[in-house]
Amino acid sequence: MSEENLDDLVHYRVEDQVAIITLNRPRKLNAFSDELVYALGEALYRFDTDEEANVAIIHGNGRAFSSGADVHQRQLRSREEFLKLGGPQGRGSNSGDLFIKPINWKPVITAPHGYVLGLAFGIILESDLIVAEEGTKIQLTETSRGLGGSKYWSLMQFRGANTFATEIALTGRFFSVEEGHAAGIIDRVAPKGQHLEVAMDLALQIAANPPLSVRATVRTRRLKMEQIGREAQAQLNAQKLFLTEDFHEAASAFAEKRKPNKFKGR
């Protein structure tokens, strides 16, 4: 797909009916390039059709689960590219499709640590359960980047975050997993360095049940989540915020490691 080896970007192994899927771009803090999104999609397809696995855990290698979208690749495209692609995502690498096109509807647990920013926040929200390491910091960067937090607001509401979702979507501030747990976004907070172990314990509890029974619940949840997310995304798509001057300035400022100039509302 490009210069990056897809097999190296995401690792896959199965242990006790649990597929452990590892994001493996640590030098970039697992920033989601088009290639990494695509590779994760391939790993999830492999899991969906793997007769030896009934539950999956996604976690990140290195210092963070993920720093979000690879700004240099996905948000600094030309206007012509944005128009052709319909947004920052590359062709075939829309993270919003990762959890809504399975055949077997197996449950997926995300086990974040370190940092969960932007696109990565959307991925954990769309997973079925979240087990996060204590002290992990989360940010909805789409707000400050000029892309809008509407879909993430909807997904946080879907998880029961209520007014906390509005605060986070409007301010775009960092928040801790402890705050997220109190608001209902995070399912479990694991001790330092034990997020994968706690996620595995939860996965084994799920795997002990009849698989089809579990998948029936996952299917119902995912279809409802897709409906909510698609409605919010459709509103965002109509606004084409990725073509605005404010988005271009915010993305450029991030890439150039400077403070953005005053936003103009256009």
Residue 266 lies in a domain: no
Lowest mean pLDDT among 1-15, 18-32, 133-147, 179-193: 1-15
pLDDT at 136 over 60: yes
pLDDT of 115 reads 97
pLDDT of 1 reads 46
Q: Tens digit of pLDDT for each residue in 48-59?
A: 999 999 999 999
DSSP letter string over the chain?
Answer: --SS-HHHHEEEEEETTEEEEEE--GGGTT-B-HHHHHHHHHHHHHHHT-TT-SEEEEEESSS-SB--B-HHHHTS--HHHHHHHTSSSPTT--GGGTTT--SS---EEE---SEEETHHHHHHHHSSEEEEETT-EEE-THHHHTS--HHHHHHHHHTT-THHHHHHHHH---EEHHHHHHHTS-SEEEPTT-HHHHHHHHHHHHHTS-HHHHHHHHHHHHHHHHHHHHHHHHHHHHHTGGGSHHHHHHHHHHHTTSPPPPP---
Under the banding of pLDDT at 50, 70 and 90, the label for residue 129 is: very high
Residue 87 lies in a domain: yes
Q: How far apart are CA 195 and CA 59, in angstroms?
A: 9
pLDDT of 90 reads 58
Mean pLDDT of 67-86: 68
Tell which wins on pLDDT, 89 or 259: 259
Residue 262 lies in a domain: no
CATH code (residue 247): 3.90.226.10
Q: What φ, ψ does residue 155 adopt, rounded to 5°?
A: -70, -35
Under the banding of pLDDT at 50, 70 and 90, the label for residue 71 is: low
Residue 31 lies in a domain: yes
Q: Write out the two tokens for 33.
A: 């390039």
Residue 233 lies in a domain: yes
Under the banding of pLDDT at 50, 70 and 90, the label for residue 74 is: low
Q: Write out the two tokens for 86.
A: 């319909």
Residue 264 lies in a domain: no
Mean pLDDT of the chain: 90
Q: How far apart are CA 18 and CA 120, in angstroms?
A: 22
pLDDT at 187 over 70: yes
Structurally, the chain folds into a number of domains equal to 1
Q: Tens digit of pLDDT for each residue in 199-257?
A: 999 999 999 999 999 999 999 999 999 999 888 877 776 777 777 888 878 878 878 88
* Boundaries of domain holding 197: 6-255
Residue 1 lies in a domain: no
pLDDT of 239 reads 74
Residue 263 lies in a domain: no
pLDDT of 266 reads 85
Asked if residue 58 lies in contact with residue 200, where contact means CB atoms within 8 angstroms, the answer is no
pLDDT of 190 reads 98
pLDDT of 3 reads 46
Q: What is the model's pTM?
A: 0.90
Q: Going by DSSP bridges, is the β-strand pair 115-117/175-176 parallel, antiparallel, or unpaired?
A: unpaired
